[in-house]
Structure 1
Amino acid sequence: MKEIYAEMAGTVFQLLVNEGEQIEEGQVTVVLESMKMEIPVESKFAGEIKKIHVSEGDFVNEGDILITIG
């Protein structure tokens, strides 16, 4: 399993994928909001979304797991 981590602290502004969905490397999966800026979080891997660990509105810290890819 591979994981997508938050690269900075912020609020989950938007989830752009669903569990079970196939994604491509470089695809934007989550948009974080930090200091009134929107930060897209891209996947470094292609594969199937196995688990989404956050919901829109959740606060995350740098290094928190956002998504698991299988």
Structure 2
Amino acid sequence: MMKQVVANMAGTVINVLVNTGDSVQPGSDVVMLESMKMEVPVTAEAAGIVAQVKVTIGDFVNEGDVLIEIED
């Protein structure tokens, strides 16, 4: 089953910390957003393998946008 990591707030992607095929654990930082001049980490809530990275550095995302897809 595919799990999704979504943006917890609107902001600009300033770093993508994982690549397709990487293993992640719950609590792993996967993307860094800049919002209101603060750096905000977005973390994975589930363990698995990164199936798809849907954002690149410089992208603007809204709260709830899918950033990363993780498979078991």
TM-score (norm 1): 0.98
Residue aligning to 1:48: 49
Structure 2: which 5+ residue stretches go unaligned?
A: none
Identity over aligned pairs, percent:
53
The 3-state SS of whatever aligns with 1:2 is: strand
Cα distance in 1, alignment partners of residues 65 and 29 from structure 2: 17
Deviation at 1:23, TM superposition (A): 0.8
TM-score (norm 2): 0.95
Cα distance in 2, alignment partners of residues 17 and 31 from structure 1: 11
Structure 1 residue ranges, 4+ long, deviating more than 4 angstroms after superposition: none
RMSD: 0.4
Does residue 61 (structure 1) correspond to residue 62 (structure 2)? The answer is yes
- Count how many residue pairs are aligned between Structure 1 and Structure 2: 70
